[in-house]
Amino acid sequence: MEPKLVKKAAFTVVGMEWNNKSSEGGIPQLWDRFVPREDEIQGKLQPDVSYGVCIPGSNGDFSYIAGYETTGEHMPNGMMNFTVPEQTYAVFTHTGSLSRLGETMELIYSKWLPLHSLEPSQGMDLEVYDERFAGPEDEQTQIDLYIPVKP
């Protein structure tokens, strides 16, 4: 898989957060709670593009935000805003069921980044869901994975 290198400016996401140490359920359940409320978010800069933002913590702790890029001026009750810093990314496209997303991520970090002489950097992975997303179990689904790399 051939990655595309992209430098993405800082942007603000408004959405709902899940944490692997303190939240119930998992990321799919977060999306189940978020999707019925996504219309509450005002000021979406790209209304047809949602984000999954993976935020690494310490000691195996990490958070995940399901949300939209916004102006950040309005925050619905029970949601939060987060600024994703400017970052250089290697962009890969995952095709197929989201149940195999972990396999794709493993291949990116263990095979594709080294194959292209790219070194991951400390930062936030992004999942970008656009018009190519046909559903979590649809084999035709495509999402872009933005992996932070050293420029």
In tens, the pLDDT along 109-138 reads 999 999 999 999 999 999 999 999 999 999
Query: What pLDDT is attached to residue 90?
Result: 97
Tell me, what CATH number does 104's domain have? 3.20.80.10
Q: What is the pLDDT of residue 51?
A: 98
Query: How many domains would you assign to the chain?
Result: 1
Give me the DSSP letters along the chain.
---EEEEE--EEEEEEEEETTT-SS-HHHHHHHHGGGGGG--SBSSTT-EEEEEEE-STT-EEEEEEEEE-S----TT-EEEEEPPEEEEEEEEES-GGGHHHHHHHIIIIIHHHTT--B-SS-EEEEE-TT---TT-TT-EEEEEEEB--
Q: What is the value of pTM for the model shown? A: 0.95
pLDDT, the chain, mean: 95
Range of the domain at 47: 4-148
The pLDDT of residue 2 is above 90: no
